[in-house]
């Protein structure tokens, strides 16, 4: 057996170190980017303070990081305060008045109404993703993991057929995807908890659900997926 050269050992050490360092570096980079993005919004909360105090170079430079952190804490406190009073009668009346005012503004009302509906769907209904399933998507020769979001009855020409709305997420970002409508016989239910299904999507299939082994997933898929005549 040939003894590894110096370059072979260097390459092996580099990739081993990269596997350890890369996730940490990416996580820190995402955290820094997220903090910077949020700071662009929350920094305006300190508008009542002089820039010479909050910014470098006597107010001409960027805001000091600790003041940005203070603005973020202030924003979190204000959100908590709004959430507290939103549960009371007076707070509900104020929120309703704000909704009515915004919905009267052209263009903005369309955006606001859409975002509010999506937010309420996920905030008030914790079971928006009801089950993890397999569906034939984007064509009949392959299967995609998806989530049942509800049973639908408005599909034209499907009277008497139980139809489901199914969300097929993209990898590794499960917040975007495709909404499709399929009948019950086109759905294969997997005995996987929804959080584990989301982890599987985010990891592009590399992090398998802890409660289900790869062999179990293959067995479920093989036995439950309806066969087509071609098969």
**Tens digit of pLDDT for each residue in 133-179?**
999 888 878 888 899 988 887 777 666 778 888 999 888 777 788 98
Please name the residue ranges forming H helices in the chain. Answer: 6-42, 51-54, 65-86, 89-102, 108-124, 194-202, 214-224
Confidence label for 109 from pLDDT (cuts 50, 70 and 90): confident
Tokens 């997420």 belong to which residue?
Answer: 169
The CA-based angle 196-197-203, given to 5 degrees, is 85
Share of the chain above pLDDT 90, in %: 2
Q: How far apart are CA 59 and CA 200, in angstroms?
A: 47
Contact 184/164 with Cβ under 8 angstroms? yes
pLDDT of residue 159: 67
The count of other CB atoms within 10 Å of the CB of residue 200 is: 22
63 to 40, 136, 207: CA distances (angstroms): 10, 51, 40
Instruction: Report CA Rg, the chain.
Output: 25
Whether the per-residue pLDDT at 230 is higher than 50: the answer is no
Tokens describing residue 7: 């370059």
Tokens 């929350």 belong to which residue?
Answer: 42
For 196-213, give the DSSP string. HHHHHHHTTTSS--TTS-
| Exposure on the CB side of residue 62, measured as CA atoms within 13 A | 7
CA torsion angle 37 107 98 84 (round to 10): -30
Mean pLDDT of the region 89-102: 83
Confidence label for 1 from pLDDT (cuts 50, 70 and 90): low
User: Which residue pairs, CB below 8 angstroms and at least 24 apart, start in 12-17?
Assistant: none
């Amino acid at each position: 057996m040939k003894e590894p050269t110096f370059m072979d050992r260097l390459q092996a050490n580099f990739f081993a170190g990269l596997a350890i360092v890369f996730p940490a570096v990416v996580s820190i980079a995402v955290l820094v980017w997220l903090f910077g993005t949020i700071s662009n919004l929350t920094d305006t909360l300190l508008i009542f303070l002089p820039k010479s105090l909050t910014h470098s170079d006597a107010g001409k430079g960027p805001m000091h990081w600790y003041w940005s952190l203070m603005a973020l804490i202030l924003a979190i406190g204000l959100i908590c305060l709004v959430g507290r009073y939103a549960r009371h009668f007076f707070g509900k009346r104020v929120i309703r008045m704000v909704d009515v005012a915004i919905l009267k503004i052209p263009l903005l009302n369309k955006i606001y109404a859409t975002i509010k509906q999506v937010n309420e769907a996920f905030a008030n209904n914790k079971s928006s993703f009801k089950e993890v399933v397999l569906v034939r998507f984007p064509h009949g020769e392959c299967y995609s993991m998806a989530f049942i979001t509800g049973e639908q009855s408005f599909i034209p020409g499907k009277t008497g057929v139980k139809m489901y709305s199914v969300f097929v997420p993209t990898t590794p970002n499960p917040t975007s995807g495709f909404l499709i409508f399929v009948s019950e016989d086109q759905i294969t239910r997997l005995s996987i908890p929804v959080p584990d299904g989301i982890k599987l999507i985010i990891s592009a299939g590399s992090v398998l659900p802890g409660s289900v082994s790869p062999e179990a997933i293959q067995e479920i898929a093989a036995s439950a997926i309806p066969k087509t005549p071609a098969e």
